[in-house]
Structure 1
Amino acid sequence: MRPVPADPDAYRAWLAEGNATQARKRVAADVLIRDPAGRILLVNPTYKPGWDLPGGMAEANEPPHEAAMRELREELGLDIALRGLLVVDWVPPHGPWDDQMALIFDGGQIDGAHASALQPRDEELSAIEFIEAGDAMPMVRERLARRIDAALNALNIGRVLYLHNGQPYL
Structure 2
Amino acid sequence: MRPSPADPEAWNAYLAEGNAKQARKRVSADVLLRDEQGRVLLVKPTYKPGWDLPGGMAEANEAPDDAARRELKEELGLDVILRGLLVVDWVPPHGPWDDQLAFLFDGGTVGPAQTAALHPRDDELSTVAFVSAADASRRLNERLARRLSAAMRMEGAANVLLCDGFPPRMRQDD
TM over 0.5: yes
Residue by residue over 1:39-76, the C-alpha shift from the partner in whole angstroms, topping out at 9 and shown as x without a partner, is 01000000111100000000000111111000000000
- Name the residue aligned to 2:172: none
- The whole-number CA distance in structure 2 between the counterparts of 1:113 and 1:9 is 56
Structure 2 residue runs without a partner (length 5+): 170-174
Deviates more, 1:83-92 or 1:109-118: 109-118
SS at match of 2:42: strand
Cα deviation, residue 120, structure 1: 0.5
Q: How does 1:20-59 map to 2 (within 5 A)?
A: 20-59=20-59
Q: Number of residues paired by the alignment?
A: 169
Residue by residue over 1:16-58, the C-alpha shift from the partner in whole angstroms, topping out at 9 and shown as x without a partner, is 1111111110000000001110001000000111100000000
Matched, 1:168 2:164: no
Cα-Cα RMSD? 0.9
- The whole-number CA distance in structure 2 between the counterparts of 1:5 and 1:88 is 34
Q: How does 1:147-166 map to 2 (within 5 A)?
A: 147-156=147-156, 158-166=157-165
Identity of aligned residues (%): 65
Q: How does 1:92-131 map to 2 (within 5 A)?
A: 92-131=92-131
Cα deviation, residue 150, structure 1: 0.5
- Name the residue aligned to 2:62: 62
TM-score, normalised relative to structure 1 = 0.97
Cα deviation, residue 113, structure 1: 1.6
- The whole-number CA distance in structure 2 between the counterparts of 1:169 and 1:24 is 21
- Name the residue aligned to 1:138: 138
Moved over 6 A (4+): none
Cα deviation, residue 112, structure 1: 1.5
Residue by residue over 1:117-157, the C-alpha shift from the partner in whole angstroms, topping out at 9 and shown as x without a partner, is 1000111000000000011111010000000000101105x
Q: Report the residue type matching 1:6 in the other structure.
A: A
Q: Report the residue type matching 1:39 in the other structure.
A: R
SS at match of 2:155: helix
- The whole-number CA distance in structure 2 between the counterparts of 1:16 and 1:131 is 47
Cα deviation, residue 7, structure 1: 1.3
- The whole-number CA distance in structure 2 between the counterparts of 1:50 and 1:85 is 25
- The whole-number CA distance in structure 1 between the counterparts of 2:146 and 2:129 is 19
- The whole-number CA distance in structure 1 between the counterparts of 2:153 and 2:160 is 8
